[in-house]
Amino acid sequence: MLRVLGVDPGLTRCGIGVVDIDPTRRASLVHVSVVRTDPATPLEQRVLAIAERVAALLDEHQPDVVALERVFAQHNVRTVMGTAQASGVVLHAAAARGLAVALHTPSEVKAAVTGHGAADKKQVTAMVQRILRLDAPPTPADAADALALAICHGWRRGGVSAPEVGGGGALTPAQRAWRAAEKSAAAPRLDG
């Protein structure tokens, strides 16, 4: 069993999800929450609030690894700065506990859970709900994104068979796409 703590970093809303992934890649929800900080609060207090909550969840849930969204360039510098500040807090907390941190791009995560790297938030949320067999979709989107990060990392970590969703035996379109991508990546290249 692999326990992954996924983080969708943000200064105003930081999504955190903990998922257990068994050897068949069946994913189970352990925890999901969103750390919210008020933009009117001094920056150092906002960063501290995120740091304390992440540290508490790492200590409580004892994950094997942390999956973090890779910071990417945007036109909105303020958004990038807030994301980077929250990411730094997570990196520090994980390193202080000797945990490895895996960075995943948003398109990588979307492809892992939906089969399409340009999927929208609604599609990601719906697939996270289905994969984790939840009665309701995780909200807000930051929570669903954190869970998607954890699932993505858990599914990427090894070459085991794709999971069955809902115990039914049929693979979802995302799982079929993921299996095909894994086979393609493992196949020897003839062009180089």
Phi, psi of 66 (to 5 degrees): -115, 130
CA dist., res. 97 & res. 84, Å (int): 20
Angstrom distance (rounded) from CA 40 to CA 118: 33
Separation between Cα atoms, residue 180 and residue 186, nearest integer Å: 10
Q: Specify the 3-state DSSP secondary structure of 190.
A: coil
**Residue 167: φ, ψ to 5°:** 75, 10
Is 142 catalytic? The answer is: yes
Q: Catalytic residue among 108, 142, 145, 164, which? A: 142
Question: Is 69 among the residues known to form the active site?
Answer: yes
Q: Which of 22, 64, 69, 120 is the catalytic position? A: 69
The active-site residue out of 8, 22, 145, 164 is 8
Q: What share of the chain is helix, strand, coil (3-state, %, to 5)?
A: 45, 20, 35
The residues that are catalytic are: 8, 69, 142
